[in-house]
Amino acid sequence: MELWGKFLNLQADIRKINHAVALLVWDQQTYMPVGGTEARAESLGYLETLAHTKIVSKEASEILTALEYQSEDPEKGPLYRAAKRDYDHAVKISTKLVEEMAKTSARAMTAWQEAKAKEDFSLFENYLEKLVDLALQKADALGYSDEPYDALLDSFEPGMTTKDVEVIFTKLKEASVPLVKEIVAKQGEKPAIFAQDYGEKGQWDIGIKALHEMGFDIDCGRQDYSVHPFTISFDPQDVRITTKIDPRSFPGSLFSSMHEGGHALYEQGIPKEWRNLAIGSAASLATHESQSRLWENIVGHSRGYLSHLWPELQKTFPNQLNKVDFNTFYSAINWVEPSLIRVDADEVTYNLHIFLRFEIERELLNGKIKVSQLPEAWNEKVESYLGIKVPSPSLGVLQDIHWSQGSIGYFPTYALGNVMASQFYAKALKEQPSLSDSIAKGELLPLREWLRDKIHSQGASLLPMELVEAVTGESLNVTPYLEYLKNKYLG
Amino acid sequence: MELWGKFLNLQADIRKINHAVALLVWDQQTYMPVGGTEARAESLGYLETLAHTKIVSKEASEILTALEYQSEDPEKGPLYRAAKRDYDHAVKISTKLVEEMAKTSARAMTAWQEAKAKEDFSLFENYLEKLVDLALQKADALGYSDEPYDALLDSFEPGMTTKDVEVIFTKLKEASVPLVKEIVAKQGEKPAIFAQDYGEKGQWDIGIKALHEMGFDIDCGRQDYSVHPFTISFDPQDVRITTKIDPRSFPGSLFSSMHEGGHALYEQGIPKEWRNLAIGSAASLATHESQSRLWENIVGHSRGYLSHLWPELQKTFPNQLNKVDFNTFYSAINWVEPSLIRVDADEVTYNLHIFLRFEIERELLNGKIKVSQLPEAWNEKVESYLGIKVPSPSLGVLQDIHWSQGSIGYFPTYALGNVMASQFYAKALKEQPSLSDSIAKGELLPLREWLRDKIHSQGASLLPMELVEAVTGESLNVTPYLEYLKNKYLG
């Protein structure tokens, strides 16, 4: 077979294994009975290792070396470079380490769920110690110049260093802390309209309506329940999201659906002809998060879209909302208030949750704190940044799934995603000023098309910072985000 | 590594791949959006091929040859022999054929679902032609003395020939046809209590109650919906079943749950220490079906167990059943009547559905009829055996999923399972005469324990006919089954 054909076949084989890996993960978090944990861990470990072995195989190395001359070809170059990047990254990590990470995290996830349900950090502690140790091994294998965190961050956000994040986070922090104070001072008394029985079905239906309006293709995806909402793609034509619904309050699940839906639109928008190629992936996690948070916050929490949803909401929840006027509803939806759970945080205090995770992770990796000290460290930071006490581990250190998956160095991408989202949306509005009117009519497809054209359809052809430049003509900067917040909350 | 260690590792690798394969299949039939078909077919094809490649690898061959001397070892022998049987079977089939069968059936399954929904056999016809062709290729590869059907049957029911089946089916047919007539003549007018709105939830709950009483371990399994109910095992600690519920009638779903639950108990009863070995499987499909049909019919349709369920049923369906007396209910549940759908057929006419499938499959493989003639051939047979006209393909030739999965030669195992079930149950009653009293009290665990001890825990250590001999002291014979039917319906 000719060389390029071999290259395509190898890429496809890797994708076919990863398809199964993704399903094993999805099922573990949605439907798998608890007894399945051990066999699942073994199967996941085996297949992740297999994919890794394929990526770094001698054959792959030979093919990539022989095709080096294609790397600047206008058509084949981007396909080649994305695959080469994956290879260069993967080849540094031993198969043994990949297998151990996969097995440990599969077991840790069940332990985390149990620890969270039982409010007992100690049930998760040993697993997390092992995962931190594995993360350090991974960082060593990948190499870094300043600190281990650099290596981990780079694997989620190619080209970005811990220092880069620190610079951006410092600017955000300097602006956020007084901004929160100013907004909170300006707010009156919080409308007590959400903490009541909203049931499950109506919330599910509203989420599905929003997903439909966003253009989420239900023939090429689905929504299920899980403890921690997530998006996972098996293929551009099979993209799954999950949500969780608290029947005793609104509107967590609507925005969870829009958030994951934003991720899903990205994955559904990746060209089908790239389904079996490394280039058929998102540019980075922050880029991914820019999409989810754009839909969740900039669209979902906007006066325009909410006013469009309002009649439907009043119809669905007559007992809860019929006596409420829209302005009260809007201000309650956009209420700014330090709170315990990151995924439920308003968009202004949200980044504070990220700063504290970033700092804790860094300290953990630099050996400044131990896993056993995490609950305490967490609670202190929450009190310092948010001014509130953490009543129990499930509302504190155990709230997020990420560490149980071995994802350390991941959290910063959320705040970077916020920054990126505003930058993208500002550009979209400049090019298509009618977008905000469309949104107010519930017509979300023009925005999806713009995002698909500029971002989704690019797959991993550009590095994230290249993508930001290509789409907005500027490098990543916090100005549009801070302007968006000020205009919305103080404007 | 020592040789036996290598043997165990290789077996485990195969199981880890098959775990993912099973999940890919389960998801395809339960939750996968239609867009996922193509990528799923590719992933399934890849992984099934990979498992096959592992089973028949040079390494496997060398290990098995070097370990030949272990084959009569009291401890290792059974483990060795089960693996060797798998090897001997798989090595005859080319990897290319395995891949093509996997890919074709993954696509055919979606086509079958569509064809069934649209009542249009032609949408499925091309896929089925391809599958029949592949089945013939498989038969040629496996080899046979009399006809291609022998080879296919043997791969589901090791050691059994088409002639063996014909002998048993002839005896059954000779007894069944007059038996059906006699029972139907004895019956009065059918109580019209089932064709009304029973809703979904109550039916689901009753099915779950029965599963619970059967000792189905919900921490090591689950029940979902699918078009065609099935059981699939990822591991003895993760065994999934599905059901379908027609809200406008009773009691399809209860017996579907008990049927699949019977399969699931078999899988959950396989020793955990065999989870990664070829011996950690059921003995055969007929053996499997003996379990499902024992629970569905002999237990589920018995006067004893139904009288136990009766108060709960009346409570769950007050509008539908409160004015019905138990004897009417019992006779309606056990009503004998030729009907269109195999899975809904009563236990007396059930085998007629199997005879016609067996004959049609045989004719198809022997080239006596073409795929395009199937609907006609089907409808004629149904009229001849059951005396009724088929109104539409979904109630006829498109009703079963099996062919879309490439499972040709599978159906006879259902009728053989009926025969085996009665033989096992007669033996169980002989050893533990109190079993029927327990069942009438809803205490089903003693029966499960007996089956687990005698059958489930044996895995694939014996060939099916060896198992029948070992459990009952007799070879497979139709006498207990025919006696059971006569006692129950004419006694």
pLDDT digits (tens, 9 = 90+) for A63-95: 999 999 999 999 999 999 999 999 999 999 998
| pLDDT over 90 at A257, yes or no | yes
Radius of gyration for the alpha carbons in chain A, expressed in angstroms and rounded? 22
B16–A238: do the CB atoms touch at under 8 Å? no
Distance CA B423, CA B402 (A): 26
- For residue B220, the chain A residues in CB contact (below 8 A) are 33, 35-36
Distance CA A226, CA A253 (A): 12
Distance CA A137, CA A262 (A): 33
User: Residue B410 carries which DSSP code?
Assistant: -
- For residue B225, the chain A residues in CB contact (below 8 A) are none
pLDDT for B438 equals: 98
pLDDT for A174 equals: 94
Facing A43 at nearest CB: one of B20, B40, B45: B20
Asked if omega into A251 is within 30° of 0 (cis), the reply is yes
| pLDDT over 80 at A102, yes or no | yes
Q: Is the ipTM of this complex over 0.95?
A: no
The shortest C-alpha distance from A436 to chain B (Å) reads 31
The shortest C-alpha distance from B17 to chain A (Å) reads 7
A12–B42: do the CB atoms touch at under 8 Å? yes
The shortest C-alpha distance from A62 to chain B (Å) reads 23
Distance CA A224, CA B193 (A): 36
pLDDT for A106 equals: 84
pLDDT for A217 equals: 98
Dihedral-angle region of residue A459 (phi above 0 means left; psi in -120 to 50 means alpha; beta otherwise)? left
Contacts of A87 (CB under 8 A, 6+ apart): A55, A56, A60, A61, A64
The shortest C-alpha distance from A58 to chain B (Å) reads 19
B47–A235: do the CB atoms touch at under 8 Å? no
B35–A220: do the CB atoms touch at under 8 Å? yes
Facing A33 at nearest CB: one of B19, B47, B219: B219
Quick one: closest CA in A to B18, which residue?
A43
Facing B33 at nearest CB: one of A12, A46, A218: A218
- For residue A21, the chain B residues in CB contact (below 8 A) are 20
Q: For A303-334, write each residue's pLDDT tens digit.
A: 999 999 999 999 999 999 999 999 999 999 99
Quick one: closest CA in A to B36, which residue?
A238
User: Residue B404 carries which DSSP code?
Assistant: G
Asked if omega into B251 is within 30° of 0 (cis), the reply is yes
- For residue A32, the chain B residues in CB contact (below 8 A) are 238
A224–B12: do the CB atoms touch at under 8 Å? no
Quick one: closest CA in A to B34, which residue?
A219
Confidence of residue A168 (pLDDT cuts 50, 70, 90): very high
- For residue B217, the chain A residues in CB contact (below 8 A) are 35
The answer to whether the beta carbons of residues A245 and A294 sit under 8 Å apart is no
B23–A20: do the CB atoms touch at under 8 Å? yes
Distance CA A484, CA B398 (A): 58
The shortest C-alpha distance from A44 to chain B (Å) reads 8
The shortest C-alpha distance from B225 to chain A (Å) reads 12
B35–A222: do the CB atoms touch at under 8 Å? no
Distance CA B457, CA A173 (A): 62
B275–A47: do the CB atoms touch at under 8 Å? no
Facing B36 at nearest CB: one of A21, A43, A237: A237
Distance CA A185, CA B350 (A): 75
For chain B (length 491 residues), average pLDDT per consecutive 10?
93 97 96 94 93 95 96 94 94 92 89 95 97 97 96 94 96 94 93 93 97 98 93 97 94 94 98 96 97 98 98 96 96 95 93 97 97 97 94 96 94 97 98 97 98 98 96 96 96 85
Distance CA B279, CA B283 (A): 9
Which of B8, B53, B54, B235 would you mutate first to test chain A, the one with the most A CBs within 10 A?
Answer: B235
A35–B220: do the CB atoms touch at under 8 Å? yes
Facing B46 at nearest CB: one of A13, A218, A238: A13
Facing B16 at nearest CB: one of A31, A42, A218: A42
A19–B12: do the CB atoms touch at under 8 Å? no
Name the H helices within A269-349: 285-293, 303-316, 318-321, 326-333
| Pick from A303, A289, A310: nearest CA to A331 | A303
User: Residue A397 carries which DSSP code?
Assistant: T
Q: For A383-400, write each residue's pLDDT tens digit.
A: 999 999 999 999 999 999
The answer to whether the beta carbons of residues B13 and B211 sit under 8 Å apart is no
Distance CA A193, CA A322 (A): 11
| Residues of A taking part in catalysis | 260
| Pick from B181, B153, B476: nearest CA to B349 | B181
CATH architecture of A162-490: Orthogonal Bundle (1.10)
Facing A238 at nearest CB: one of B21, B39, B46: B39
Burial of A30 (0-12, 13-18, 19+ CB in 10 A): middle
A contact set with B (CB within 8 A): 12-13, 16-17, 19-21, 23-24, 27, 31-36, 38-40, 42-43, 45-47, 217-222, 224, 234-235, 237-238, 275-276
Instruction: Tell me the DSSP string of A189-216.
Output: SPP--SSS---SHHHHHHHHHHHHHHT-
A220–B33: do the CB atoms touch at under 8 Å? yes
Tokens of B155: 């791969």
B24–A27: do the CB atoms touch at under 8 Å? no
| Pick from A70, A93, A92: nearest CA to A81 | A70
Burial of B1 (0-12, 13-18, 19+ CB in 10 A): exposed
Domain map (residue ranges) of chain A: 3-143, 162-490
Angle subtended at Cα A389 by Cα A336 and Cα A352, rounded to the nearest 5 degrees: 45
- For residue B237, the chain A residues in CB contact (below 8 A) are 33, 35-36, 38-39
- Report the SS3 class of residue B221: strand
Quick one: closest CA in A to B274, which residue?
A39
Distance CA B10, CA B86 (A): 13
Dihedral-angle region of residue A409 (phi above 0 means left; psi in -120 to 50 means alpha; beta otherwise)? left
Burial of B181 (0-12, 13-18, 19+ CB in 10 A): exposed
| Residues of B taking part in catalysis | 260
B219–A34: do the CB atoms touch at under 8 Å? yes
- For residue B23, the chain A residues in CB contact (below 8 A) are 20, 23-24, 27
The shortest C-alpha distance from A89 to chain B (Å) reads 24
Facing B36 at nearest CB: one of A46, A47, A234: A234
| Sign of CA pseudo-dihedral A249, A255, A259, A262 | positive
Cα dihedral: A292, A293, A299, A302 (round 10)? 150
A46–B13: do the CB atoms touch at under 8 Å? yes
| Pick from B132, B129, B341: nearest CA to B227 | B341
Beta bridge partners of B238: B235
- For residue A41, the chain B residues in CB contact (below 8 A) are none
Q: What is the mean pLDDT of chain A?
A: 95
User: Residue B251 carries which DSSP code?
Assistant: S
Distance CA A455, CA A283 (A): 9
Beta carbon pairs, A and B, within 8 Å:
117
Distance CA A361, CA A411 (A): 9
| Pick from A250, A457, A428, A447: nearest CA to A333 | A250
Lowest-pLDDT range, A4-13, A245-254, A405-414? A245-254
Distance of CA B480 to the CA centre of its chain: 21
- For residue B33, the chain A residues in CB contact (below 8 A) are 218-222, 237-238
The shortest C-alpha distance from A72 to chain B (Å) reads 30
Confidence of residue A435 (pLDDT cuts 50, 70, 90): very high
- For residue B32, the chain A residues in CB contact (below 8 A) are 238
A47–B20: do the CB atoms touch at under 8 Å? yes
The residue type found at B128 is: L
